[in-house]
Structure 1
Amino acid sequence: MFKGNALRQNGEDLKALECYEHFLKYESNNDALSFKGQVLHNLDRIDDALEIFNSIEDVELSKTGIGLVLYTKKDYPGALNAYGSAFEVNQQMYIAESIIDCAREFNFESALEIFNKYSKNPIAKYAAGLVNIEMDNYHDAIKSFESVLELTEDSIGFDSEFFTIFKYVHNNIDEKDSELIFSVLKNLYPVLKEVIEFKDKRISKNSSNLVHYTTPDAVRNLIKKDSHFRLSNVKYMNDPEEGEILLKNLKENKVKEIAEKHGLDREGNKKIDFGNEYPLQCFYDEIEGIDFQTTFIGSFLEQDDNLYLWRTYGRDSKKEEGKGMCVSISSKFFDKKPHITFDSLSSTDPELNINKNNNDMGFSPVIYDIIYDSEECIKKIIIPFLKDIEEYLHKLKDLSRDQGGKYKALVSTAVRAILDEVLYLVKSKNYQEEKESRILVTCGINHPKIKYNEDTGFPYKLYIEIEKPFREYIEKIVLGPCVDDCGRWKLYLNREGIKVKESNCKYR
């Protein structure tokens, strides 16, 4: 059975199925049956999987398996009922998450009915909070999250971005100002929902055709068997306006539809005049002291042999143009969904320790397509997003000024934790011919996985690593038009089992 598990985790489902079937000839085992059902499901043998799951005596394993199959069949009420039966036996987080997935396709009220049966279970209360957020019932969501804190001191596993934001706000506002918790979260949550949707739409559809230009020294390290891909800090990017383009356009009133600032409220009832300043910029005033979080970037392009790119990015360690290399990367390297947990918020108060397990989590290599501030992109992408969050940002701005600005730092920190990465998805139209995509990772400035590159001289440059064996994902390496000793490079890379070709660009 253990061999089957290893094969299944490696994606070798047919071989895993053989192992499970051989094992089950000699021993009846619920776990082995469940694993067999999951493999059959992966192989699209849906009815066979359902038969297996129905034969399992363990209720939790049986019902979660049945729920999986019915969800695939788009029988969402049936799947929800099966997962509900499993949750009745064992209130586990993975079952709660499956119930919420079904509810998104079917009915949120049905999910709440399941979770509300277990008023003393922190996982059920946490899940009820997430469902209420999906339904825009923020008051009930906050009450559910408060119950989680009352029921357990250990919040490991309660790692949704909504709960993390709640915990940060809740733990940093005085008890006598408790009403402010609801006011702040009521306006933070809609912004967070819009940002998640905005970023999901930017996840690259071209991840099967992406390359990374770098130096020969970097290639030498990347082809090692234990190599990891490095993300550089945003402060080292070639564009001096990284992360500032959107704020600059807003500050200078270059986004016409936003600059006018007139319209009805979200209910369409009351005329609103927001004045001359879009509220986002007030949360990004000049920062004094230690900035609580920072962003790291890995840049990827579509063209693997382009003269402009060789001159701009295809340099060696001595900055000589055309002497760099281009690494073509398998789409399997990139994740399809980010895990956004805002661990950076804990760095503002070491005693909070919001996500104690985050230090052990690898960073998520999700690839996003860049937005350029061309007239078309501003009209179709940026303006609708800015309008959707505008009213909430204005209310948060007002809340940050209440009581003489007592909670200005708290509100600004929360807003920036949500919006920082969005700013790094917008670049100047001067760069749009590059058609860049990038991995973005934002973390606390004191995150233990941030490393120093001492080869760059002092003060050392900061970087983080994507903890996947990068060598496995290299499909090809293109040698720049001015690379020295191309013959030696080709011979060596071929010996290492890596496809290689020389640039066809004519370089003078």
Structure 2
Amino acid sequence: MSNSNLALDTIGQFVSVIQSFQKKYVDKKEININLIEVSEKIKEDGNHILKELKDDQDQSESKLKVILDSLEEIQFYKKNMNDLNYKVETEELDEDEYVKIDKEIQILKENIKKLNEAGLIVEREKLNKNFFDCKEIYTFFENILLFTNLLKSLVKIYEENIIEKDFDFINQGLIESDSVALKNMMELIRYNKYKNMPYEYNFINDFFTLEQFYTLLALSNNSLKFNGYEISQKDKYDIEKYFNLLKIQNLVFLILSRLCVMRNDQERKVAHYTTVDVGVKLATNISHVRLNSVDFMNDPTEGKILKDFLNLKYINDDNIHINTFLTCFTFNHNSLNQFRLYGNTDDIECSGLSLVFKNYFFAQGFEKATTSRIYYKLPLFRCIYLDFFSGYFEIARRNKFTFYQEYKDKNVAEKAWNKYINKINKVETIVKQYFDEMKKCVEILYSDNDLKVISFINNTVNPLRFLIKHFAFQEEQECRMMRIESIEHSDVVFDMVNNKSYIDYKLDVNEYLTNIYIGEKSKLNHTYLIKEISKKSEKIPKIRISDNPFRSAKKDFIYKK
């Protein structure tokens, strides 16, 4: 995209509008910008950006067609060469025929040389990447415009008490779009304001945050639809059911946004435990981090605890083609327990690696906006550890000891810990409030045992299912990067060898690595790791052997490439 300054300015305006909205309508403070005017400017600049991106896409597509035609022509020449060579090898030819065929082969070789197959392949890959980039950035800015328009319509409700017709006019682009999450929020606002359906405005206002914007990008449109739900405008009870479903979906979004691990000094790094083989490939950018299908989780309670907690009824879900893809991280960067459980090779405990990532490897609210890679980022969600019998839960966090490790000074560590745990406690209080409200909605919807509605509820809460873990796993302090997507989506890759599906997280890992801890039983790979990473990159993370005490009769693991 040529006009990168305009894109950065638009992103800055978007951040300003969201933060100012929260300040005015949530924190009840004075603001010094006109939200509606800035929203109009975002719309104007955003449409200009979208047009430019569409032109870039069209140009790439046109150039790509020429290259594909040329590559097809090369294949045609190669086939003719093979046919002629076969004729020379299998038939008895006189000298004139042989000379004639040889000339034809030389002409074909010249034609192939002129077209430069290797150069065309490089150009094809470059154009494919540019086309993909334009598509991702287009989706990103399209969502900014839709999000901003919906926010603007809410501001106009508060400040001008606009009628329903004007509300629809502002959101015309959203009505015609595929953005199911924002459409459903639009309907929630509409029914609350214009159909006299009661819903606390703080639940609506809490939706319009940067965390929420990124959360929506992690969920596919198909996973959010109430498939086949038909409402009668004349049947108030039917509308109420639909409205309660919308409320449940909004509460799911609000919980997710509160679970987002956003940029701050106290949670600036998280770790991913993996095998030496995978770790080397990630650290040298040979492979990307993979979000794997949840079909093969090691915890048998995965995905089930939430249904027990909310007393959901078990029936077959409608969205059978929707799957959750995720990869796991933890606040415990150098943990003996994690090393014993994860990343082992040949069943040798503590034979893996802990890759420690800077937190801007994930969507962090537009930091590092000077690079286009911002458009590919997904949020990181902390897990909830829940005892569904009592309803007690905690969210994933750093433990107190890590503050003493980091700050060394007791007084400084205590002060930092108290500030941190107060923040965590506030998040837990708000999440509990959202869950309590969700339980009320579920109870209302269950009153008539409508099987279709029960199925909708199960599908609606699905984004939370794999963030809720049994309390027995609480010491792992886990976070997850997640994407919920249709299996048929082009980003979903099926590995036939291992019978698994996954989605690549298309960021080069090396740029974001800050530390690598080596498990005790892999200590002999220390030098190899440093040398291997140094071959591929000038940037080498700090690599050290874990100092956790561990003894095993098994031989140390030595990685063989």
Give the TM-score category using the shorter length: 0.5 to 0.7
Residue type at the aligned position of 1:302: F
Matched residues in 1 for 2:154 and 2:169: separation?
22
Indicate the structure (1 or 2) with the bigger Cα radius of gyration.
2
Between Structure 1 and Structure 2, the one with more helix by share is 2
Structure 1 position 108, deviation (Å) = 3.3
* 5+ residue gaps, structure 2: 25-29, 49-141, 177-181, 198-215, 367-373, 395-427, 552-561
SS in 2 for 1:485: helix
**1:397 paired residue number:** 446
Q: Does 1:452 align with 2:494?
A: yes
- Show the 5 A alignment for 1:73-112: 75=31, 78-81=34-37, 83=39, 97-101=147-151, 108=158, 110=160, 112=162
Kindly indicate whether residue 383 of structure 2 is the aligned counterpart of residue 370 of structure 1. yes
1:55 maps to none
**Aligned match of 1:464:** 503
Q: Could you list the runs of 5+ residues in structure 1 that have no partner in the other structure?
A: 9-33, 47-63, 143-158, 251-277, 339-360, 402-407
Partner residue of 1:281 out of 312, 325, 333? 312
Which amino acid letter does the alignment assign opposite residue 312 of structure 2? Answer: Q
Deviation (angstroms), 1:445: 3.8
SS in 2 for 1:377: strand
Q: Please report how far the alpha carbon of residue 111 of structure 1 lies from its aligned counterpart in structure 2 after TM superposition.
A: 7.8
> What's the secondary structure of 2:461's corresponding residue?
helix
Q: Which residue, 329, 353, 364 being the options, matches 1:300?
A: 329
Residue 293 of structure 2 is matched in structure 1 by: 233
From 215, 218, 221, give the equivalent of 2:281. 221
Corresponding position of 2:138: none
**1:320-469 map, 5 Å:** 320-336=348-364, 365-373=378-386, 376-377=392-393, 380=429, 384-398=433-447, 401=450, 408=451, 410-456=452-498, 460-469=499-508
Helix, strand or coil: the match of 2:350? coil
Distance in 2 between the 1:380 and 1:121 partners? 33
2:339 alignment counterpart:
310
Partner Cα separation in structure 2 for residue 289 and residue 129 of structure 1: 18
Residue 145 of structure 1: aligned partner: none
Distance 1:362 1:195, change over 3 A: same
Deviation at 1:241, TM superposition (A): 0.9
Taking a change above 3 Å as real, the CA distance of residues 241 and 69 of structure 1, as seen in their structure-2 partners, is closer
Structure 1 residues 52-63: aligned runs within 5 Å? none
In structure 2, C-alpha distance between the alignment counterparts of 1:89 and 1:471, rounded to whole Å: 34
CA contact (8 A) 1:297 1:441 kept: yes
SS in 2 for 1:291: coil
Q: Deviations over 1:156-190 (max 9, x none)?
A: xxx99999689944755398998776343211111
- Identify if the C-alpha distance between structure 1 residues 399 and 90 changes in structure 2 by more than 3 Å, giving closer, same or farther: farther
Equivalent AA in structure 2 for residue 309 of structure 1: Q
Cα distance in structure 2, aligned partners of 1:446 and 1:141: 40
Shift of 1:435: 1.0
Distance 1:302 1:220 in 2: 21
The corresponding residue for 2:406 is none
- AA at the equivalent of 1:133: L
CA distance in 1 between partners of 2:326 and 2:460 (Å):
17
CA distance in 2, matches of 1:426, 1:213: 20
Q: 1:420 to 1:506 in 2, by over 3 A?
A: same
CA shift, 1:463, in A, is 1.8
Q: Give 1:388 deviation, angstroms.
A: 0.8
Alignment of 1:476-491 (within 5 A): 476-483=515-522, 484-491=524-531
Q: Per the alignment, in what secondary structure is the counterpart of residue 439 of structure 1?
A: strand
Paired AA for residue 498 in structure 1: I
Pairwise CA distance, 1:419? 0.6
Q: 1:507 to 1:199 in 2, by over 3 A?
A: same
Q: Deviations over 1:122-167 (max 9, x none)?
A: 327678985563475276599xxxxxxxxxxxxxxxx999996899
Match of 2:241 in 1: 184
CA distance in 1, matches of 2:512, 2:307: 36
Q: State yes or no: 1:196 paired with 2:224.
A: no
Distance 1:66 1:434 in 2: 36
Letter in 2 for 1:395: I
Distance of aligned partners of 1:105 and 1:481 in 2 relative to their CA distance in 1, 3 Å threshold: farther
Distance 1:399 1:165, change over 3 A: farther
1:329 Cα deviation after fit: 0.7
Aligned runs of 1:75-154 on 2, under 5 Å?
Answer: 75=31, 78-81=34-37, 83=39, 97-101=147-151, 108=158, 110=160, 112=162, 116=166, 119=169, 122-123=172-173, 130=185, 133-134=188-189, 137=192
Deviation at 1:364, TM superposition (A): 5.5
Compared CA separation, residues 505 and 200, structure 1 to 2 (3 A): same
For the Cα contact (< 8 Å) 2:318–2:459, is it kept in 1?
no
Task: Tell me how far 1:337 sits from its aligned partner.
Answer: 6.8
Matching residue of 1:31: none
* Contact 1:203 1:368 (8 Å CA) reproduced: yes
Find the partner of 1:493 among 506, 523, 533: 533
Superposed CA deviations along residues 81-118 of structure 1, whole A, max 9, x for unmatched, are: 45458879999965564354456678535384697187
Shift of 1:425: 1.9
Deviation of 1:427 after TM superposition, in Å, equals 1.3
- Cα distance between partner residues in 2 of 1:234 and 1:163: 16
Correspondence for 1:350: none
Alignment CA distance shift 1:102-1:290 (3 Å):
closer
Alignment check: 8 A CA contact 2:293 2:324 kept: yes
Describe the SS at the equivalent of 2:458. Answer: helix
Q: What secondary structure does 2:271 align onto?
A: strand
Q: Distance in 2 between matches of 1:398 and 1:314?
A: 47
SS of residue in 2 equivalent to 1:296: strand
If the length of structure 1 is used for normalisation, what is the TM-score?
Answer: 0.60
Deviation at 1:335, TM superposition (A): 1.2
Between the two proteins, the alignment pairs up a number of residues equal to 378
Give the aligned residue type for 2:259.
R
Question: What are the superposed Cα offsets for residues 25-47 of structure 1, whole Å, 9 maximum, x if unpaired?
Answer: xxxxxxxxx579x39x96xxx9x
Q: 1:490 to 1:168 in 2, by over 3 A?
A: closer
* 1:293 positional shift: 2.3
CA contact (8 A) 1:84 1:114 kept: no
